[in-house]
Amino acid sequence: MESGFETPVYITRPLLPDLQLITEKFHDIIDSKKVTNMGDQHHELERQLKQYLNVEHMTLFSNGTLALLLGIKALGLRGEVITTPFTFPATVQALDWNQITPVFCDIEPHTLNIDPARIESLITERTSAILGVHVFGNPCDVHRIQEIADRYGLKVIYDAAHAFGSTIDGMPIGTYGDLTMFSFHATKLFNTIEGGALTYRDPELVQKLNLLKNFGIASEDQVLLSGLNAKMNEIQAGIGLEVLKLVNDERIRRLDLLNVYMDELRDVQGLKIVTATNNLSSSLQYFVVRVVEESFGKSRDWLHEQLKKFNIYSRKYFYPLCSEFPWYYHLESTSSENLEVAHRISSEVLCLPFYGELGRESARKICRIIKQLQAM
Ligand code: T4K
């Protein structure tokens, strides 16, 4: 009989630099007296991230949600945007704050991303864009989505909050669509505690985004548009510079964990591993399974609760679906018939602890506990 963990095991832990390195960074920033409003750390992080993500244009923000919200504003989108219900609330809330109505499209059962085959029937004369989410770091079918968008003259935006470093046929994920948002929240592979960025195709967006994240201020005498405060500060950027040095090693450790989970869980009846498809390189952001009750013998919710007794805190990302939020009740696209796959998946999906520090032995123990619970 496997016993529980002595201390709680969470789905993730932030990747953080040695305290000594952070202290030195703080000294530099405090000594400079430039602590926010696009200082040296900010510029250096932007430069290094462009290189790391292999993109030409990037703007940093205080968090991913504001990045997406202002990216949508910068593109001048309006009316309706077709998107997925299987995402974090931030995706659709960025539409809400732009007075745009989300039109929910069902998802593919394998990638859990917006299903391109279902998009076209949702397009109306009010549609201005398609907003895909690279859920759990597995890329959307960017080619089919672009083909539909081109045919109907729509913009394409991606929420790549989970997809730091993902590639498609070797191409960096931030180069697809008109605009891509990355989140650098503490729970993400690369983090600045809170933070985010946009990458985009049109170089003219640089100026607009820089205005939007800084109250629309162009100069001492000029405020050109109605913006917000969404600037990444120097402490965030400085920590980001140190965290970035750790990302490649963290990826190696996560790859190791992925192999442990795959080996141990592959043959468990009723557990389906949500994997990256061929030719895609995953961000290794989450390790996700689907608990198929009929064959696993227990429900996802039951497993989620039982794991807590062993001090394991898995997460039901994404449940409930965004289409179930009360302020969308009146929307036609929220009907269960329209979102059959999404409803099924959101009752099955479970994210297991996945971060380098966890270590192979703990991952093996988690797998043994899951098997033990199934046999109960
Ligand atoms: N789009 C998508 C698809 C997203 O997933 C997200 C964010 C966004 C947009 C918005 O990006 P940001 O505006 O956040 O940049 C967490 C994160 O707060 C959120 O950023 C993330 N997605 C989401 C998937 O996960 P919660 O409510 O689950 O967080 P919380 O506090 O329960 O943390 C989860 C676990 O992580 C904890 O049980 C323990 C661990 N943890 C967390 C924090 C904050 C730590 O060990 N240390 C920490 O400091 O949303």
pLDDT band, residue 1 (cuts 50/70/90): confident
One-character DSSP codes across 291-339: E-HHHHSS-HHHHHHHHHHTTEE-B-TT-S-GGGSGGGTT-GGGSTTTT
How far is 354 from 326, CA to CA, in rounded Å? 32
Q: Which of 11, 62, 87, 88 to mutate to test the pocket of ligand 1 (most atoms within 8 A of CB)?
A: 88
pLDDT tens for 49-79 read 999 999 999 999 999 999 999 999 999 999 9
Whether residue 339 is predicted with pLDDT greater than 60 in this model: the reply is: yes
Whether residue 276 is predicted with pLDDT greater than 70 in this model: the reply is: no
- Residue closest via CA to ligand 1's atom 16 equals 187
User: Per DSSP, which regions of 63-142 are E strands?
Assistant: 80-83, 101-104, 127-133
Q: What is the DSSP letter of 289?
A: E
CATH architecture of 247-374: Alpha-Beta Complex (3.90)
Q: What is the mean pLDDT of the chain?
A: 96
Domain residue limits, the chain: 19-244, 247-374
Q: Ligand 1: list residues with CB < 6 Å.
A: 10-14, 63-65, 87-88, 90-91, 133, 159, 161-162, 183, 185-187, 196, 313, 317
Whether residue 282 is predicted with pLDDT greater than 90 in this model: the reply is: no
Can you tell me which atom of ligand 1 is nearest the CA of 315?
28
Whether residue 364 is predicted with pLDDT greater than 60 in this model: the reply is: yes
Can you tell me which atom of ligand 1 is nearest the CA of 159?
1
List C-alpha distances in Å: 61 to 7, 171, 229. Answer: 34, 24, 9
Q: Does domain 19-244 have CATH number 3.40.640.10?
A: yes
Whether residue 234 is predicted with pLDDT greater than 90 in this model: the reply is: yes
pLDDT tens for 134-189 read 999 999 999 999 999 999 999 999 999 999 999 998 899 999 999 999 999 999 99
Rounded to the nearest whole angstrom, what is the distance from the C-alpha of residue 267 to the centroid of ligand 1? 30
Rounded to the nearest whole angstrom, what is the distance from the C-alpha of residue 304 to the centroid of ligand 1? 18
Residue 277 confidence (pLDDT): 55
Enter the pTM of the model: 0.97
- Residue closest via CA to ligand 1's atom 50 equals 187
